[in-house]
Amino acid sequence: MNIHKAPSTIEKLALMGDSTEFEPAGDRPRDEKRLKRAQSMPCVTEVATPTGALPVMKTMITTACERNCFYCPFRAGRGKMQRVTFKPDELAATFDQLQRAGIVKGMFLSSGIIKGSVTTQDKIIDTVEIIRRKYGYKGYIHLKIMPGAEFDQLRRAMQLATRVSVNLEAPTQQRLDALAPKKNFADELLQRLAWAEQIRQTGVRSSSVTQFVVGAVGDTDVELLALSERLYRQMGLARAYYSRFNPVSDTPLENVSAAPAARELRLYQSSFLLRDYNWNVEELPFEPDGNLRLDVDPKRAWADAHLRLAPIEVMQASREELMRIPGIGPRAASSILDARRERRLTDLSQLRTLGIRAPEQAAPYLLLNGQRPPTQMRLF
């Protein structure tokens, strides 16, 4: 007689594999990787969080889904996906075990949608309620918000989580129709980000983020970044994630070419200019097709067009003007302001001591005490 033993939660996590590989959870998504010491547990990923790098348990309530998003490995009817489902109490207990063993120090929890978004969101919230209340965990938790989740569910999720994520996936309804035809851009998705900012105004401290799928359905960089700017300015978004499209077999978009990795990088660089450097989207150096150049970072492309003939005087520039110079970020700009109160800056070596790692690269765009700093000619 054959007796089939139900898999343990740890075995189910292993069966789920790296199902959240394309779901960024931390502040450096391009660097996220599975921990080498946890090869038997692909659900463990090291991510950058506001409090430092942490090994995080990245998993899902279920890999089953009733929606048919054209790019998604979990889409309804896709036979190649291993379907695994957890109950809130078993997933919470396993997280507690791993956390107490020092294997993980945080959690990222997502899910496919089964029996509707509201039911699925309840299961996500129930899991974290147990982790917080029964097991007393006070650390980092990042929760996905399901499309169409209710206002009270979002508020409770934000009370429980360090960060919540509402995946917009596309910059417009037209683009979303080509990616995920059963989702409503304004009512199911964008409204949740607006609610999140409203909830923060009541004193709830959880941050909100979003994610875009880049390069599958003709979306342009100007579309993605114009919406990102709006989200930063009007909805208090902490950051936007840009995940370049990679085709998945047995999906409607399996024959669409993958988006280049460089495009993802340029979007992140531009997004940080909007969020951290107070740029406007109109200032970004888009090509006529609405996309950014892939061969040069956008800040340098802008500087080549605007600063080579009109370099910035380091001894007189404002903090915002200093941050327009390639190689000078917020910290270096503040260091320059502090240093020039005490002495004149006349040499690139002085800039290096102030935290500018490659002042030679900044040299073509600045003046030091009224003079262009000497630069070494390239041999090749």
pLDDT tens digits, one per residue of 43-91:
888 888 777 888 999 999 999 999 999 999 989 888 777 788 999 999 9
DSSP state of 123: H
Q: Tell me which residue of 170, 197, 191, 140 sits closest to 25, measured CA to CA.
A: 140
Q: How large a percentage of the chain has pLDDT more than 70?
A: 91
Tokens describing residue 303: 């500087």
Range from 34-43, 89-98, 119-128, 313-322 carrying the lowest mean pLDDT: 34-43
Q: Tell me which residue of 173, 167, 170, 199 sits closest to 186, measured CA to CA.
A: 173
Q: Which residue ranges make up each domain of the chain?
A: 7-165, 167-186+207-298, 307-367
Instruction: Tell me if domain 7-165 and domain 167-186+207-298 are identical in fold.
Output: no
Would you tell me which CATH number, out of the four given (2.60.40, 3.30.750, 3.40.50, 2.40.10), belongs to the domain 167-186+207-298?
Answer: 3.30.750
| Residues 183-221: tens digit of each pLDDT | 999 999 999 999 999 999 999 999 999 999 999 999 999
Cα(174)–Cα(83) distance, integer angstroms:
30
Q: How big is the chain, counted in residues?
A: 380
The whole-angstrom distance between residue 89's C-alpha and the CA centroid of its chain comes to: 28
Query: Which stretches of 105-230 are assigned E, i.e. beta strand?
Result: 106-110, 140-144, 163-165, 207-214
Query: Which stretches of 116-258 are assigned E, i.e. beta strand?
Result: 140-144, 163-165, 207-214, 239-244
Q: What is the pTM of this model?
A: 0.91
> Which residues lie closer than 8 Å to 64 by C-beta, 6 or more apart?
74, 83, 85, 112, 114
- Secondary structure of 92-117 in HEC code, one letter for each residue: HHHHHHHHHCCCCCEEEEECCCCCCH
> Which residues lie closer than 8 Å to 132 by C-beta, 6 or more apart?
138, 160
107 DSSP β-pair partners = 57, 141
pLDDT at 1: 44
Q: Tell me which residue of 60, 87, 84, 81 sits closest to 69, measured CA to CA.
A: 81
The pair phi, psi for residue 353, each rounded to 5°, is -70, -15
Residue position matching structure tokens 């002042």: 359
pLDDT at 377: 40
DSSP state of 146: P
The CATH number of 307-367 is: 1.10.150
Cα(99)–Cα(138) distance, integer angstroms:
11
DSSP-based three-state secondary structure for 209 = strand
pLDDT band per the 50, 70, 90 thresholds, residue 4: very low
Q: H/E element holding 55? A: strand 52-60
| Residues 119-153: tens digit of each pLDDT | 999 999 999 999 999 999 999 999 999 999 999 99
The whole-angstrom distance between residue 236's C-alpha and the CA centroid of its chain comes to: 14
pLDDT at 380: 40
Architecture label for domain 7-165: 3-Layer(aba) Sandwich (3.40)
